[in-house]
Each structure stands twice: as C-alpha cells, then as structure tokens.
C-alpha cells in the first residue's frame, strides 16, 4: 500500500529511531551514536548502532538496518503496512488508507475476529453437553481446568455444520468461513465444518491474535492431528504454538517440542518456555523467530528415528540463527508429557539441566550408526568422529569429546588426539585459505551480501554508492549532477537515487527513512550498510568525478548492447539467407 508522503514524514518525525529502538534494546551513548546488543542475532559485544541524526539503525554484525518502520517490521514480524499502523498507534496518529489496502486489512481483521469467535464457540462446546468426549480426554491426559482455560482449549462436536450455522448466525459469511479454513467445500460444492469430533487448540500469534487451529481426533480416524490450512492470516512456517506465552518466560531458554500436548504439559508443570511447531518441520523462519526471544534452545523431540532425524535437521538451522543448541534425551519415557507424569517436574528439571550440547548428541548418534565390533566400521566411525571433534572451536571440548570417541571405539585417547589434530589442522588450513582468498578478493568484499542485489559493474556501483552517501548529507548536490536513475548500473542504487531525487523535487526530507515504503527489507539493509560503514564527506569535484564515471559506464554498456544487438541481427539475417538458398536447391541431384 502507498501511504501519502506527508503522512510518512510526520510518522517518522513522531517516532525517533532512538525512542523506537530503545523500547527493545538497552542503548549506551558513544559519541553521537548509541550502541547495544543486536536484537536480531546473538552477540556478546555490542555491534548494533543507532544514529539519531540520520534516523537509522545498523548492525555491523548481521548487517540489518533501516529506519523506524524497518525496525518494527523486523522486531515484530510485521509487513510494511502493519508496521506503519503499529507506529501510528504508538504516536497517536490516524492512518490514511486507500480502498485497496483498507479492503485487505479489513479482511484480515475480519478473519481474526472470526477465528476468535470460533475459538469461543469451541470452548463453549467443550463445557457443554456435546463436549463430554473432550472433557474425558483432558482428564485422561491430566490437564487442569486452569491449563485448559489458559490455552483456550475447546471441542468440535460431531456433525457437519455446527460451527458454520453458529458463525453465519453471528453475521459471518460462508465465504469468510472458507477463507479462514474453518469449512471445506465438497466435490459437489456444498460446505461443511473442517473440524469434527476433535479437541481444538487455538493457534495464537506473538501479538495475541487467534489465526488458526489444531484439532486432535477423539477416535482412531486419520489424521490424528489436523491443522488449519494456510490463509492470509496463518502461515505455518512463520508461527510456533505457545510462542505468545513462551516469549515472556524468564527461564533463559526455549524448549522446542514435537507436539501441542508436550508443550502444554510442560507449561502446566511450570516450564512456561515450551513451544511446538505447527505440523511442519522446523524452518529457518522458525529459527529466526526463536532467536528474537532467547539465546538457547533445547530440543526435546521423540527418541524414535523420525524424532532423531528431525533433531539432526534442526541443529544446523538453529546454530545458523546464532542460538546455542542443546538436546534432551528422554530416559524412561517417549516424550516430555509422559516423563512429567511419571517422574514430575523436579526430575525433568534435572534432566533439562543435564541436556547434551549438540556435540554430545551428534557424537552419540554417530556411534549408534556403526557396529564398533567390526574393524572396518570402527575405522569409519573414528574417521567421521575426528572430523566432528575437529569442528569444535574450543580445545578443551576437542579433548573431552575426542577421549569419549576413543573410549567408544576402544583405542587410546592419545591415538584419537593425533587424528583429531590432523583433522583440525586440515580444517584450519582450509579456513585460512578461504579467508585469504576473501581478503584478496576485494571485488567480493564490495559486493552486497544479498545475492539478488549483486553488482554487475563494480566501478560504476562504487561511484553510485558515493553519490548516494553524499546526497543524503547534502541533498542540494543533486541539482548539478544531471544524472538519471536508469544510468545507474545497480538497480537497487538507481531505485534509491530516483526516490531521493523525487523527494528533493517535492520538498520532502531526503533521508534513508524516505526509502522504507518502496524498498524491501533486504534492500534497506544494504542501503543502510552503504551509508553506515563509510561516512566520509567528499569534495564537489570528487562528486562530479563519480557522476562522470556513472555516465561513462552507462554509455559503454549501452554501446556494447547496441553492438550485440547488431551482431544478433546480422546472424539472424545470414541464417535466413542460408535457409532460402538451401530451400531453392533442395530438388537438385
């Protein structure tokens, strides 16, 4: 949606970047800028900076950056229009909305309201005559009334249209029920309730909106668990069950479980940091979400083969997001729910504190993969184990886990240490060579991190970056440059220049914040990096030299393009002539 420029200027003026960020990050002043620990990745040394004079934030570690709207988009997980609404509400402003966006937003709000009313219907059904099967199941699973209320658990009774009839009486249309995934259309075109004879778990996003449901069947029919389909308000890859509660936990970690009941049971026993994925494998989006609220994730997937595979897949994703990963192995139970019922919260707490780090888990998994009584398999195990241990950055860890691998395979720790040292040296040499290559490859360092934004002409792009930095400091410098956006070799830089040029001509502020409506978060991250990492002021002559470089590169590219087109036309003409000649002589002997 396109908001009026005057409204956005007022919005950013009323939401200073230091005030917006300061509500989420503890900031300390260093000179003219403010610094704090980045909320988007795990770090011990503050590399997250806020520049009040420029109205931007930038992290020198993960390279995220932008203005107040971009910050709210990242920290709250909102799209651009909703981030604008968020800041408008924060500053007491009314949002001017065009008809198209108002229609989309109203539809989203309408579906959220429908899901909320549906949750109320299911809850009432659970506590009514039709809900006896659900109540019996909850008693059997040991859930208290307080827990049931806290999670808004309900029941979808038998029947084909109970929910649909009630919701239509409440003023919702059948089309809205279909869009929310609450009803299904048959092959004959008739509609019926998606959830029937199921215990219902409302799925709530981090802002407290009910966006979908998970239903657990009461008999042996399949599927055992049925989730709402993807809708305009519900995305399984970007939501986690119970994260709306777990994000407020003070326990210093988040426990990732395999199912709703495990997460709910943990909450009932005092572990209010448990979440579960929504019928899908853990995704990178999930890992990034978790990284916003914790530094440590404990995996408690089932101990069967499927659970172990899920654990192995999850570890690298969580580590990539900057999280410390631990793995909890169940002892005497198949899942957390069963363990808590058998042994109680205190023993689970002990088990939790003893949870293995990812190295322990991976080493034991590797050990279980081989028959260590067979020499060939034992050698293969030691080969893989030495590579695994060598990947650990801490020398003490390498010695500890190297010794464990040696004991498992029945060799001396000294022999294992020799192999680990060899593997470590090989790895170190590879990393050193790769780093040296990167250090020598200046061109690679100057390229944007995002592949889709890579420069095709570094000479021109460097000059374009310099021009953008300068006009953000001195907007009036644009008057003498006589440059057009299409002359820029890098699309993202030309796009930014065009927007800033328009702002200047319209008398609007020429700032990075002016770009937020038209650029993607990735583009804003890069533009903020361009401005934040180099802050020099260039002379008027140097600026004109940069403009000359841009024009010259543009003209050469255009000329080269013309030559290529001319060659293609010539080749096409020659092919056509040959075809005509062959056709004319085709009948000769």
Q: Are residues 226 and 264 in the same domain?
A: no
Q: How far apart are CA 120 and CA 126, in angstroms?
A: 10
Going by their DSSP bridges, the two strands 254-257 and 296-299 should be labelled as parallel
pLDDT tier at 433, thresholds 50, 70, 90: confident
DSSP letter (8 states) at residue 15? S
List the single range of 159-163, 382-386, 562-566 with lowest mean pLDDT: 562-566
Is the pLDDT at 569 greater than 70? The verdict is no
Q: Closest by alpha carbon to 254, among 330, 355, 347?
A: 355
d(Cα 475, Cα 317) in Å, to the nearest integer? 43
Looking at the 3D structure of the chain, how many domains does it have? 5
Please tell me whether residues 484 and 523 are part of one structural domain. Answer: yes
Q: Residues for the chain: how many in total?
A: 589
Same domain, residue pair 222 and 260: no
Residue from 4, 14, 56, 61 nearest 37 by CA:
61
User: Does residue 365 fall inside a structural domain?
Assistant: no
Average pLDDT value for residue range 272-280? 91
Region 434-446 average pLDDT:
64
- The answer on 165 and 141 residing in a single domain is yes
> pLDDT by residue (tens digit) across 175-221?
999 999 999 999 999 999 999 999 999 999 988 999 999 999 998 88
Domain termination residue (choose one: 378, 409, 440): 440
CATH, residue 315: 3.40.1360.10
Is 124 inside any structural domain?
A: yes
Q: Is residue 499 predicted with pLDDT exceeding 90?
A: yes
Q: Would the pLDDT of 574 be above 70?
A: no
Mean pLDDT computed over 3-26: 90
Q: pLDDT-based confidence at 588, cuts 50/70/90?
A: very low
Mean pLDDT of the chain: 88
Residue 13 lies in a domain: yes
Query: In this structure, what is the dihedral angle of CA atoms 310, 315, 317, 321, given to the nearest 10 degrees?
Result: 140
Cα–Cα distance measured from residue 7 to residue 69, given in angstroms and rounded to the nearest whole number: 13
Quick one: which of 126, 81, 133 has its CA closest to 105? Answer: 81
Residues 152 and 187 in one domain: yes
Looking at 234, 256, 289, the residue that finishes a domain is: 234
Q: Same domain for 78 and 186?
A: no
Highest mean pLDDT pick, 47-51, 74-78, 102-106, 439-443: 47-51
The answer to the question of residue 580 being in a domain is no
218 shares a domain with 124:
yes
Instruction: Evaluate whether residue 60 is within a structural domain.
Output: yes
Q: Is the pLDDT of residue 586 over 50?
A: no
582: in domain: no
Give, as one character, the DSSP assignment of residue 95: P
pTM of the model: 0.67
Cα separation, 116 vs 127, whole angstroms: 17
Tell me, yes or no, whether 82 and 105 share the same domain: no
Domain interval for residue 84: 5-90
**What's the CATH code of the domain at 160?**
3.90.980.10
Q: For 506-542, how does the pLDDT look when each residue is reduced to its tens digit (9 = 90+)?
A: 888 888 888 988 998 899 999 999 888 776 667 888 8
Q: What is the CATH number for 54?
A: 3.90.580.10
Give the pLDDT band of residue 74 (cuts 50, 70, 90).
Answer: confident
Question: Final residue of a domain: which of 207, 234, 261?
Answer: 234
Q: Using one digit for the tens of pLDDT, what is the confidence trace for 239-260?
A: 999 999 999 899 999 999 988 9
* 507 domain residue, yes or no: yes
Same-domain check for residues 492 and 436: no
461 and 524 co-located in one domain: yes
Calpha distance 582→587 (Å, rounded): 9
Q: What is the 3-state composition of the chain as percent helix, strand, coil, each rounded to the nearest 5?
A: 55, 10, 30
Both 385 and 350 in a single domain? no
Between the two ends of the chain, the Cα-to-Cα distance in Å is: 70
pLDDT (average), residues 373-386: 91
Q: Are residues 124 and 55 in the same domain?
A: no
User: Is position 334 within any domain?
Assistant: yes
């Amino acid at each position: 949606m396109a908001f009026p420029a005057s409204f956005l200027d007022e919005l950013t003026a009323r939401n200073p970047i230091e005030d917006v960020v300061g509500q989420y990050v503890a900031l300390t002043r260093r000179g003219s800028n403010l610094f704090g620990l980045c909320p988007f990745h795990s770090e011990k040394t503050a590399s997250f900076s806020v520049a009040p004079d420029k109205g931007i934030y930038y992290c020198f570690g993960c390279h995220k950056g932008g203005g107040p709207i971009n910050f709210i988009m990242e920290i709250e997980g909102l799209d651009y229009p909703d981030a604008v609404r968020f800041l408008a509400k924060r500053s007491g402003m009314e949002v001017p909305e065009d008809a198209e966006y108002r229609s989309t937003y109203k539809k989203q709000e309408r579906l959220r309201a429908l899901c909320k009313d549906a949750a109320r219907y299911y809850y009432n059904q659970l506590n009514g005559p039709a809900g006896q099967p659900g109540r019996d199941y909850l008693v059997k699973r040991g859930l208290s009334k307080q827990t049931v209320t806290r999670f808004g658990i309900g029941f979808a009774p038998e029947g084909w249209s109970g929910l649909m009839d009630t919701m239509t009486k409440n003023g919702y249309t059948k089309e809205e029920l279909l869009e929310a995934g609450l009803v299904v259309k048959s092959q004959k075109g008739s509609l019926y309730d998606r959830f029937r004879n199921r215990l219902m778990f409302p799925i709530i996003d981090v802002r407290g909106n009910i966006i979908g449901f998970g239903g657990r069947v009461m008999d042996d029919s399949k599927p055992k668990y049925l989730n709402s389909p993807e809708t305009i308000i519900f995305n399984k890859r970007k939501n986690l069950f119970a994260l709306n509660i777990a994000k407020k936990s003070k326990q210093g970690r988040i426990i990732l479980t395999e199912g709703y009941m495990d997460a709910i049971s943990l909450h009932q026993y005092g572990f209010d940091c448990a979440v579960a994925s929504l019928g899908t494998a853990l995704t990178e989006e999930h890992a990034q979400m978790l990284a916003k609220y914790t530094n440590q994730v404990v995996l408690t997937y089932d101990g069967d083969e499927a659970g172990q595979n899920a654990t192995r897949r999850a570890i690298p994703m969580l580590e990539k997001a900057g999280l410390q990963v631990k793995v909890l192995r169940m002892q005497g139970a198949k899942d957390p729910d069963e363990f808590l019922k058998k042994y109680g919260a205190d023993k689970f707490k002990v088990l939790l504190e003893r949870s293995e780090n990812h190295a322990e888990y991976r080493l034991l998994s590797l050990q279980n993969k081989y028959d260590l009584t067979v020499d060939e398999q034992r050698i293969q195990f030691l080969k893989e184990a030495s590579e695994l241990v060598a990947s650990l950055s801490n020398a003490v860890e390498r010695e500890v886990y190297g010794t464990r691998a040696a004991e498992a395979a029945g060799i001396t720790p000294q022999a294992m240490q020799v192999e680990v040292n060899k593997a470590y040296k090989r790895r170190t040499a590879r990393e050193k060579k790769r780093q040296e290559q990167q250090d020598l490859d200046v061109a690679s360092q100057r390229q944007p991190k995002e592949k889709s934004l890579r420069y095709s002409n570094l000479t021109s792009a460097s000059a374009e970056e310099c021009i953008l930095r300068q006009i953000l400091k001195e907007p009036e410098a644009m008057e003498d440059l006589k440059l057009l956006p299409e002359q820029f070799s890098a699309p993202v830089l030309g796009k930014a220049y065009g927007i800033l040029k328009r702002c200047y001509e319209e008398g609007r502020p020429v700032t990075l914040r002016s770009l937020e409506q038209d650029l993607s978060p990735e583009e804003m991250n890069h533009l903020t990096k361009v401005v934040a990492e180099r802050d020099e002021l260039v002379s008027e002559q140097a600026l004109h030299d940069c403009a000359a470089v841009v024009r010259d590169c543009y003209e050469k590219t255009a000329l080269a393009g013309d030559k290529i087109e001319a060659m293609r036309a010539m080749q096409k003409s020659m092919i056509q002539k040959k075809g005509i000649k062959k056709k004319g002589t085709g009948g000769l002997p």
